[in-house]
Amino acid sequence: MEFLKQPPRFLFFTGKGGVGKTSIACATAIRLADSGKRVLLVSTDPASNVGQVLGITIGNHIVPVPAVPNLAALEIDPQAAAQLYRERIVGPARGVLPEDEVRGMEEQLSGACTTEIAAFDEFTALLVDSELTAGYDHIVFDTAPTGHTIRLLQLPGAWSGFLEAGKGDASCLGPLAGLDKQRSQYREAVEALSDPRRTRLVLVARAQQSTLKEVARTHEELAAIGLTQQYLVINGVLPAAEAEQDSLAGAVHAREEAALAAVPETLARLPCDRIPLKPFDLVGLDALRQLLDGVAVPAAPGTAPEPALEAPDLARLVDEIAAEGHGLVMLMGKGGVGKTTLAAAVAVELAHRGLPVHLTTSDPAGHLADTLNGSLENLSVSRIDPRTVTEQYRERVMQSKGANLDAEGRALLAEDLRSPCTEEIAVFQAFSRVIREAGRKFVVMDTAPTGHTLLLLDATGAYHREIARQMGDKHFTTPMMQLQDPKQTKVLIVTLAETTPVLEAANLQADLRRAGIEPWAWVINNSVAAARPRSPLLRQRANNELAEIQAVATRHASRYAVVPLLEQEPVGVERLLALSRPAHR
């Protein structure tokens, strides 16, 4: 494996949920420990299952892995870290400031930014020279800090009082209020991340066009802030031998080969490894030791029965949506789960029934037009360009709030508007203009505002409260009120039938609920179990999905649908229509 050659002290594995970064991080730590190196394996993933993978209990303290000499592990709980971080900031204000101000502080610190910053706060000590890590040759991290977190940390500290004076606009900067005392330590940590002699970043992806586009964006974002020592691992590639087993396996293999042949140019320049899809669950030391061998492991014929899956299909959800005649339909979820395809499928089916539909996206990759590959009566399509609307938003704020500031104040305002949350606010405002149409037609949104964005908007309530102040006793409706009204808005959470994507979707649902938005349904996309494969390897994978589908049906969703993995990619109006037809149960 290229990424294992002459490894530096710090190895970070990053990628979207479900691509296998935890398994690869664990396998890497075991491989290094087996070679005689002293290794610490650290997880900062909110949905961490490192303990489950290794078969031991791990907590927020370093524990040895008994079956692997030289290996220890640590799981940082981001939620617990965030609670401690919030208390450090808010605690001194209790009993001193009025209760409504304390509540306001708690609200501002309730979002995803706080969790990211608090997790970084926890593992900063692992990146700088300290007694805690002095005894380890390598520290392997499952989940790197995001570009979003690092960009926040790189902003100067001078805006703290500036924001308190109400002159700033990108109000996600509140979570940074507790960082000033450790700012030099954070700077040292970011320098360690940017030093290729000390740090290697491993991007983990699947052989899928959408996932490769996502990881290409991650690569560019992290390279732009100095994390240039990057490697690419394509995980779970279906072995060619399986393609001969049945038509579904053959179609999946052909799609993967096409995706790898057309890998984005920015990724093509990186050192790259491919790891074959395994038929077994990557749990336990024996399985993990086989993962990085680069050898396809054939599934034993006849060992996995056909999965017994009876689940509602997308057609049933679309029937309920169509009965309303109009409204806002938002598809939300992590990257790579197929939101664009499902948004297009819902929009196309509604338009096919003669209902007026506006399909819109903020996907920077802009592949909605490729997915539709045609036009349809009653369907209009638009794309919100995040870069364009963010620049327009910055200009508006500089012209309004910046008009009466001195040179220093304008410089600080400009810095505030470079916060990564500015783009989220700008995109939400652009979406808000489209939302108004939902009173007379269907508006279907792909890549809708994240739970983080909505929680931020609800917590600060800036737009909503300003409208309320201006309107007084008059009747009014804000976009946030519309999103919180289940009669006007239906949120569909899209996920995959795999452990990490389901946990991430559950976290997104919790964020939405804190923002006063109750998801209407879940959609489990690209299910192997629903496709009823004959390939022994795929059949074994299909049986592994059943527990996750059961978890969604019984614990997470009030209603749900399962969409099968298809032989032909759902591109073009006819194939999109097929996705929401009862024949695909």
Q: What is the DSSP letter of 48?
A: -
Token duo for residue 91: 């605690």
Q: Yes or no: say if 446 and 361 are a contact pair by the CB < 8 Å rule.
A: yes
Nearest by Cα to 334 from 38, 15, 1, 16: 16
The pLDDT of residue 160 is above 50: no
The pLDDT of residue 318 is above 90: yes
Q: Would you name the residues annotated as active-site residues?
A: 18, 20-23, 45, 500
Q: pLDDT tier at 168 (50, 70, 90 boundaries)?
A: low
- Which residues are 235's β-sheet partners? 206
Token duo for residue 107: 């609200």
Type of residue numbered 23: S
Least-confidence region, from 141-155, 239-253, 266-280, 540-554: 141-155
Residue 272: partners with Cβ closer than 8 Å, 6 or more residues away: 2, 231, 232, 233, 234
* SS3 state at 477: coil
Q: What is the pLDDT of residues 413-464, one digit of tens each?
A: 887 777 766 777 788 788 888 888 898 999 999 876 666 566 555 554 444 5
Which pLDDT value is given to residue 460? Answer: 46
Dist. CA 116–CA 556, nearest whole Å: 24
DSSP notation for 542-572: HHHHHHHHHHIIIII-SSEEEEE--SS---S
Dist. CA 23–CA 43, nearest whole Å: 11
Which pLDDT value is given to residue 163? Answer: 45
DSSP notation for 300-336: PTTSSPPP------HHHHHHHHHTTSSEEEEEE--TT
Dist. CA 329–CA 317, nearest whole Å: 11
Q: Yes or no: say if 237 and 277 are a contact pair by the CB < 8 Å rule.
A: yes
Least-confidence region, from 37-46, 120-129, 213-222: 120-129
- Which residues are 332's β-sheet partners? 493
Token duo for residue 462: 């800036």
Least-confidence region, from 102-111, 155-164, 557-566, 570-579: 155-164
Q: What is the pLDDT of residues 227-265, one digit of tens each?
A: 888 999 999 999 988 888 789 999 999 999 999 999 989
Nearest by Cα to 27 from 257, 276, 290, 404: 290
Say which residue the tokens 């909110």 belong to.
46
Dist. CA 51–CA 65, nearest whole Å: 10
Return the sign of the alpha-carbon dihedral for residues 168, 173, 174, 177.
negative
Tell me the mean pLDDT in the region 165-174. Answer: 54
Tell me the mean pLDDT in the region 93-99. Answer: 84
Dihedral pair phi/psi, residue 242, rounded to 5°: -70, -25
Alpha carbon distances (Å) from 468 to 403, 471, 473, 498: 25, 5, 8, 43
* Host H or E run for residue 289: helix 285-291
Dist. CA 37–CA 200, nearest whole Å: 17
Domains of the chain: 2-291 (3.40.50.300), 314-584 (3.40.50.300)
Dist. CA 215–CA 572, nearest whole Å: 25
Which pLDDT value is given to residue 383? Answer: 86
- Which residues are 75's β-sheet partners? 43
Which pLDDT value is given to residue 378? Answer: 92
Dist. CA 177–CA 180, nearest whole Å: 7
Burial of 415 (0-12, 13-18, 19+ CB in 10 A): middle
Q: What is the pLDDT of residues 520-539, one digit of tens each?
A: 999 999 999 999 888 889 99
Q: pLDDT tier at 187 (50, 70, 90 boundaries)?
A: confident
Q: Yes or no: say if 294 and 276 are a contact pair by the CB < 8 Å rule.
A: yes
Say which residue the tokens 């410089």 belong to.
411
